[in-house]
Amino acid sequence: MSEVRVRFAPSPTGPLHIGGVRTALYNYLFAKNKGGKFILRIEDTDQARFVEGAEQYIIESLKWCGIEFDESVVVGGEFGPYKQSERKAMYLPYAEQLVKEGFAYYAFDSSEELTAMRERMKAAGVPSPQYNAVTRTTMQNSLALSEDEVTKRRQAGEAYVIRIKMPRNEEVKLNDIIRGWVVVNTNNMDDKVIFKSDGMPTYHLANVVDDYLMKISHVIRGEEWLPSAPLHVLLYRYLGWEDVMPQFAHLPLILKPDGNGKLSKRDGDRLGFPVFPTEWMNPETKEISSGYRESGYIKEAFINMLSFLGWNPGTTQEIFSMEELIESFSLERVGKAGAKFDFDKTRWFNQQYLRAKSKEELAQDLQLILKENGIEAEDNFVETVCEQLKERATFVKDMWEEGKYYFLSPTSYDEKTIRKKWKEDTPKYVSELKNRLAELADFSSESIEIEFKKYLEENELGMGKLLPAFRVCLTGLGMGPSLFDIASLLGKEETIKRMETALEKIN
RNA sequence: GGCCCGUUCGUCUAGUCAGGUCAGGACGCCAGGUUUUCAUCCUGGUAACAGGGGUUCGAAUCCCCUACGGGCUACCA
C-alpha cells in the first residue's frame, strides 16, 4: 500500500474549536499510527471571511496540543505551497478542462438572477430550488446560450462562474471508512459552483485538486462534509483521478452537553467551560474567549479527553499518553453517532494527570501562579505544599486557591468553625498548647502530633475538641490536609505566631 | 420540505460486521467504610438496548416500518 498522507485543512475564519482540534488530532493519530505524513493546508479561498490572526492561532494552538505537522505553511514540504490563496493559479486549468470535456459549464447569472430563479421555483411549489438539470436551461450559461453569445460575453469580460454539470439519475457511491457505503442519486444534487467569479475555486474543487496534487491518501473530516462527498467523488472521476482517489472517513460531530445540536462557542459561555484550546481575542470586537490552556488544563489531559469523544480503544484503559494514542488509534473504532461534550469527565481527566505529576513539576507550575500573586517562596517549600495538596486538587490553581494559608497568615477565620468549635475554654487550651509547642525541639509532623495528643490526654480532651480550633488558628479554615503536616511545614516560629494572632483576633 | 447520517445507563461508551454468559467499564449521582475535618481512597448501589413488526430454537446484534435526533440544502468552508 502506498504511503499514508493525511491533511488537516481548516479555514482561517476564526479560532479552532474543540471539534476542529479533534479532527486534527484524529488525522494526526492516524498518520502517525500508519507511519505516514500529516499535513496542514490553509483553505483560504473565501476572502470575505478571512479573520486576522486566525491562521496563526490554528498553528499555535495545535502546537500547544502537541500536534505537529510534517508539511505545512510553517515547515514547508515538497508539495507546497500549503495555502490555497498561494495556489490560486493552479485551479482554473482543471476547471476549464472539465468545461472542455463537458463535465462543467460557464454561468453568467448575477446574484439577483439567481434569487429571482429561486423565488420563481418556490412560487411554483419547489421548496428548495436548485441550479440543476431542470433549471439550468432557463439561465445564463454556456449550456443554454449560443456559442457566439458565450464567446462575446467572455470577451467582454463579463463575470462568470464555472458550475459542474450534474448528470441525470446516476447513483454515486462511496465507501466511507466509518459509515460504510453511502449512496446518493445525482437527481438530488445540484450544479455546484466549483470556480468563483473572483478567480478562486470553491472548497469542492480546491479540495479535490489539492488532495490529488498533495497525494492525500485519506480524507478524515467532520460529518458536515458527508453530503458533499458524492460531489467530490464525481470531481475525481471527471478529472480522471478516480483510481487514486483518497479514502473517506467522516467523523461524528461533538454535540452540546445539554439539549441538542452541535457544540458552539455560546454553549461554553452559557455552561462555563472553554470551547477553544487556547485563549482567543476577536480582533474586531476585542472580545476574549477563554481557552483550556489559560483555564489551567494540562494539555495531555485535554488531548486524552478529546480523543475519547468519539473513539475508544475497546479496552478499559482510559488514560493514554499521545504515544499510546498513536499506538492504539484506528478509524475502525471511531463511533458513528455524535458525542455530547461532558465537562465533568474533562475535569476528571485533568485530575488524573495532575496526580501523575511529580511535586517538582507541580511546584514549577504553582510558582508561576504564586508570582502572579506577588508571592515569593522557596522551591523546597512549594514542593512540599504540592505534595500535601495534590490529592485534593483538580487544577494547579486549586492548590493556590485552597492553600493560600501556606503563604499568607489568615486574615479571617471561618465563622462556622468558630461558632461550633471555639468555646469559652478554647483560648485557654490553645494558649497552653502554644506553650507546649514552643518548647518542642523536634518540629516534625510526627513530633507535633505526639505532643498534641499527649496534651489532649492530659486534659482529657477529644480530638474534635481542640483540633478544629488549632486548624482555624493556622489556616483560618475548617478543613484541609493534615494539620500536623501544615504546622511542621510552616515551622515553629510561624505556627506560634499564628496562634498568638488568632488568640488576639478571635476573642 | 428534500437528501444524507445516526439512535445501548443522565453522559462517554464495550458488545453489532462473523445472532446464543445476570448487557461490561468509566464519569456523575447515592450509601457505607477510612480520615481530626474536607478532599482523596476503598466497598457497594443506581441506571440503558427509541418503538413496532418480522427472520430464527434464540435478536442489542440481521431485515422492514415508525418515531426522534443531527448534518447538508450559498459564487462559506
> Could you identify the residue written with the cell 479573520?
A51
| Chain A 193-232, CB < 7 Å to strand B | 193, 196-198, 200, 202-203, 223-228
| Chain A 353-392, CB < 7 Å to strand B | 391-392
Residue A411 is classified by DSSP as S
Distance CA A194, CA A337 (A): 30
Confirm whether any atom of chain B, the nucleic acid strand, is less than 7 Å from CB of A8: no
Distance CA A372, CA A369 (A): 5
Helix, coil or strand: residue A308: coil
pLDDT reading at A114 higher than 90 = yes
Other beta carbons less than 10 A from residue A431's beta carbon:
13
How many Å does it take to go from CA A19 to C1' B16?
27
Which grid coordinates are listed for A143? Answer: 449550456
Confirm whether any atom of chain B, the nucleic acid strand, is less than 7 Å from CB of A180: yes
Confirm whether any atom of chain B, the nucleic acid strand, is less than 7 Å from CB of A436: no
Residue A128 is classified by DSSP as S
State pLDDT tens for residues A54-90.
999 999 999 999 999 999 999 999 998 999 999 999 9
Q: What is the CA radius of gyration of chain A?
A: 32
State pLDDT tens for residues A305-342.
999 999 999 999 999 999 999 999 999 999 999 999 99
| Chain A 65-124, CB < 7 Å to strand B | 109-111, 114
pLDDT at A247: 97
Mean residue pLDDT of chain A comes to 94
pLDDT at A1: 56
> Could you identify the residue written with the cell 496534651?
A455
Protein CB footprint (7 Å) on chain B nucleotides: 1-8, 10-15, 25-28, 36-40, 69-77
pLDDT at A269: 85
pLDDT reading at A30 higher than 70 = yes
Lowest mean pLDDT, pick from A93-102, A276-285, A359-368, A411-420: A411-420
Distance CA A465, CA A458 (A): 13
Give mean pLDDT, residues A4-28.
96
| Chain A 245-304, CB < 7 Å to strand B | 252-253, 255, 257, 260-262
Pure H helices in A51-107: 54-65, 88-100
How many Å does it take to go from CA A466 to C1' B2?
75
Beta bridge partners of A339: A254
Single-letter code of the amino acid located at A40: L
List A262, A265, A340, A357, catalytic entry:
A265
Please state, for a pLDDT cut of 70, what percent of chain A lies above it.
Answer: 99
Give mean pLDDT, residues A6-23.
96
Cα A230 to Cα A131, A187, A192, A212: the distances in Å are 17, 12, 12, 16
CB-based contacts of A340: which residues, under 8 Å, 6+ apart?
A254, A255, A256, A257
pLDDT at A55: 96
Other beta carbons less than 10 A from residue A131's beta carbon:
20
* pTM of structure: 0.94
pLDDT at A267: 87
Confirm whether any atom of chain B, the nucleic acid strand, is less than 7 Å from CB of A478: yes
Torsion, Cα of A172, A175, A176, A182 (10° steps)? 40
* Ramachandran angles phi, psi of A59, nearest 5°: -65, -45
ipTM (interface predicted TM): 0.94
State pLDDT tens for residues A231-288.
999 999 999 999 999 999 999 999 999 877 888 888 888 888 999 999 999 999 999 9
Give the confidence band of A474 by pLDDT, cuts at 50, 70, 90: very high
Give mean pLDDT, residues A381-405.
95
- Apex CA A385: angle with CA A384 and CA A386, to 5°? 90
pLDDT at A324: 96
Angle between helices A463-475 and A445-458 (to 10 degrees): 130
Torsion, Cα of A348, A351, A355, A358 (10° steps)? 140
**Which secondary-structure segment (H or E) carries A161?**
strand A161-164
Task: Based on the residue annotation, tell me whether A63 is a catalytic residue of this protein.
Answer: no
How many Å does it take to go from CA A353 to C1' B23?
31
How many Å does it take to go from CA A267 to C1' B47?
27
Q: Let me know if A340 is exposed, middle or buried by CB neighbors in 10 A (0-12, 13-18, 19+).
A: middle
How many Å does it take to go from CA A145 to C1' B46?
71
Pure H helices in A179-317: 203-213, 229-238, 265-271, 299-307
pLDDT at A144: 93
